[in-house]
Amino acid sequence: MNVLLAVRMYISKMIQESGPGMKVLLMDRETIGIVSVAYAQSEILQKEVYLFEQIDKSGNGPVMKHLKCVVFLRPSQENVQLLATELKSPRYGVYYIYFSGIISKAAIKVLAESDEQEVVREIQEFYADYFAVGPHLFSLNLEKPIHGMEWNPNSLQRSVQGLLSILLSLKKNPVIRYQSFSQLARRLAENIRDTVQKESTLFHFQRGESVPLLLILDRRCDPITPLLNQWTYQAMVHELLSIKNNRVSLVGVPGAPKDLSEVLLSAEQDEFYADNMYLNFGDIGQTIKSLMDEFQAKAKSHQKVESIADMKAFVENYPQFKKMSGAVTKHVTLVGELSRLVTQHNLLEVSEAEQELACQEEHSQSLTKIRRLLATDQIRDLDAARLVFLYAIRYNKHPNKDISGLMELLRRRGTSDRLIDCVDAILRYASSSETIGSNILTTKDVTKITEKIFKGLKGVENVFTQHSPVLKEIMDNMIKGRLSEESFPVVGGESTSRIQDVIIFMVGGVTHEESLAVHHFCRANTGIRIALGGTQIHNSQSFISDVEAAVKFAAGGNTKHPASNLAPSSSGRHAKLT
């Protein structure tokens, strides 16, 4: 159930199968991302791949018959036509072609007819049609997949292809369940079932005592989690700096080294990140200090080069020393920037207010605190708007709500019209689910709310982290056999037996907080293996953009919403196909 390992094995195999010798890797825009998330470029270079090309930009490249061409493309009509054009006038000696999903017989015929010089050695399907961000986390990198509460047809097709690829790469033929309130989840579930039945020869995987489960959820079941500030390392970097395909841009970051415009954050490549990605921000301070102490000790030992033996030891250890030096610079820069942003934008106080909104029943206290924060210049407009979003969802039905008053405060502080309009959009998005209600935000046992005191970095203390995503409750009920068929119907009427392998997919995107919940859940339930994915991995800004698109009609018009809500109450098929 390791999605990252599955993708890495596919990529390694496609390069190995072409045999020894210099190679070029020919990809499309998406497969470039899929490969770069799973492998560092330095790793690929070690496999005799010396050139990387994008198929829609490679038409006029030089002829290099001494190179073998490994082709890795999505099975789209556009890619098939571009590859057919390449094969009619081949620039490389031989071609090994791999598609990331199911390819039609008609497409294979087009390629066969174009291969007049017989340079194609094989065509195979390698099911790596998703972005494996981590061992249990994957994304399809689909922005704004929903329009007017309906699927964008291209996004639906891409989601079906991505999930089929997940099932085939993990060799699972699952029972499929979905959230009953969501027509989006139902449509995706039915399309996957139909394709599995159509391609039944691909899904002859033996089932044991436990039947795999594909559980399709809708982001609307929990619109709160993507709106909250985060306080674990990975989630915090994504919220404040944004992680795209495991890469973080440091352009414009004060004090960042000039040669460090972009950094890679991959648990596969970075031992410090692997060990600390789920740690609370305050704890990172101590681990950073330990990393620097270790680095400084090694640096001092490298200064003592007084003999031939010392020189030999230095040369042997230099690559590791250089790698450690890069890790120190990278993480000190990142943590320093996070700390600066926390202080500059008063995120501790903002986060405390968010957590009170999410987990406590204190309307008057929360309203007073939000009004005070909205009058503060120190907090960002984004954070001010998010507080109003959370308040609107939380207290939309409260008799003394004052959503319109808070919107007026946003206007007075000069918040953009876009963010102010999003208050209405967020409300429509949340209320479009029949399950939306106070249960989303109210924990069952408020007495168990704990206050986590961060220690380590100065200025980080008394930050609340009591919020728990709805996904955790769903997983708890799942493992106890309490997911009712009324709330989570089964496509095709199959019954689920003992749960062991589960693929959870969130239409509308997942968050790193939910990924962390899966990580903790699997550690606490050692017999359970879960892969979590979504249309994309959200921070608050990407989620707000998705919501804006979701509440509009595909043609661009706005849906209506009662104004009273705003007013105050005053591995698969690998045989050769050629």
Q: How far is residue 504's CA from residue 258's CA, in Å, rounded to a whole number? A: 41
- Last residue of a domain, which of 287, 315, 345? 345
pLDDT of residue 496: 66
- Residue 457 falls inside a structural domain: no
Q: How far is residue 293's CA from residue 284's CA, in Å, rounded to a whole number? A: 14
**Which of 16, 33, 92 minimizes the C-alpha distance to 58?**
92
β-strand partners of 71: 26, 97
* Burial class, 295, CB count within 10 angstroms (exposed 0-12 / middle 13-18 / buried 19+): middle
Regarding whether 14 and 100 lie in a shared domain, the answer is yes
Tell me if 50 sits within 8 A of 76, measured CB to CB: no
pTM of structure = 0.87
Regarding whether 291 and 265 lie in a shared domain, the answer is yes
Regarding whether 170 and 83 lie in a shared domain, the answer is no
pLDDT tens for each residue of the chain, 578 residues long: 899 999 999 999 999 999 999 999 999 999 999 999 999 888 888 888 989 999 988 767 788 999 999 999 999 999 999 999 999 999 999 999 999 999 999 999 999 999 999 999 999 999 999 999 999 999 999 999 999 999 999 999 999 999 999 999 999 999 999 999 999 999 999 999 999 999 988 988 877 777 899 999 999 999 999 999 999 999 999 999 999 999 999 998 888 888 788 999 998 888 889 999 998 888 887 787 777 777 767 666 555 545 555 545 544 554 555 566 777 788 888 988 998 999 999 999 999 999 888 888 889 999 999 999 999 999 999 999 999 999 999 999 899 999 999 999 999 999 999 999 999 999 999 987 644 333 343 333 222 222 222 333 333 334 456 788 999 999 999 998 888 889 999 997 676 677 889 999 999 999 999 999 999 999 999 889 999 999 999 999 999 999 999 998 533 444 444 333 444 333 334 333 32
Q: How far is residue 333's CA from residue 318's CA, in Å, rounded to a whole number? A: 22
Helical spans, DSSP H, in 56-104: 77-88
- Residue 451 falls inside a structural domain: no
- Residue 245 falls inside a structural domain: yes
Which tokens hold the place of 560?
């209506």
**Could you tell me the sign of the dihedral formed by the alpha carbons of 110, 112, 116, 121, in that order?**
positive
- Last residue of a domain, which of 431, 460, 480? 431
Strand pairing of 64-73 and 23-27? parallel
Strand pairing of 247-249 and 243-244? antiparallel
- Residue 460 falls inside a structural domain: no
Which tokens hold the place of 275?
């060990």
Regarding whether 138 and 122 lie in a shared domain, the answer is no
Tokens 């959870």 — which residue? 504
Query: CB count, 10 Å around CB of 90?
Result: 19
In terms of residue numbers, what domain contains 47?
A: 3-126
pLDDT of residue 11: 95
Regarding whether 307 and 237 lie in a shared domain, the answer is yes
pLDDT of residue 206: 75
Which tokens hold the place of 78?
């556009």
Beta-carbon contacts of residue 408 (< 8 Å; ≥ 6 apart)? none
pLDDT of residue 303: 54
Angle between helices 233-240 and 281-303 (to 10 degrees): 100
Q: The CATH number of the domain where 481 resides is what? A: 3.40.50.1910
Regarding whether 330 and 424 lie in a shared domain, the answer is no
Query: CB count, 10 Å around CB of 422?
Result: 23
Number of domains in the chain: 4
Q: How far is residue 78's CA from residue 152's CA, in Å, rounded to a whole number? A: 19
Beta-carbon contacts of residue 179 (< 8 Å; ≥ 6 apart)? 185, 216, 217, 218, 221, 435, 487, 488
Regarding whether 473 and 406 lie in a shared domain, the answer is no
Which tokens hold the place of 526?
């050692």
Q: How far is residue 110's CA from residue 178's CA, in Å, rounded to a whole number? A: 38
Amino acid in position 358? A
Regarding whether 120 and 101 lie in a shared domain, the answer is yes
Regarding whether 244 and 167 lie in a shared domain, the answer is no
Beta-carbon contacts of residue 270 (< 8 Å; ≥ 6 apart)? 264, 327, 330
- Residue 228 falls inside a structural domain: no
Residue 137 belongs to what H/E stretch?
strand 137-139
**Could you tell me the sign of the dihedral formed by the alpha carbons of 362, 364, 367, 372, in that order?**
negative
Which tokens hold the place of 344?
């500059």
Q: The CATH number of the domain where 332 resides is what? A: 3.90.830.10
Residue 181 belongs to what H/E stretch?
none
- Residue 501 falls inside a structural domain: yes
Regarding whether 148 and 216 lie in a shared domain, the answer is yes
Tell me the C-alpha to C-alpha distance, in Å, between residue 465 and each of 391, 459, 543.
Answer: 18, 16, 20
Regarding whether 192 and 84 lie in a shared domain, the answer is no
pLDDT of residue 33: 94
Q: How far is residue 451's CA from residue 442's CA, in Å, rounded to a whole number? A: 17
Regarding whether 122 and 8 lie in a shared domain, the answer is yes
- Residue 578 falls inside a structural domain: no
pLDDT of residue 207: 73
CA gyration radius for the chain? 26
- Residue 10 falls inside a structural domain: yes
Angle between helices 417-431 and 403-412 (to 10 degrees): 160
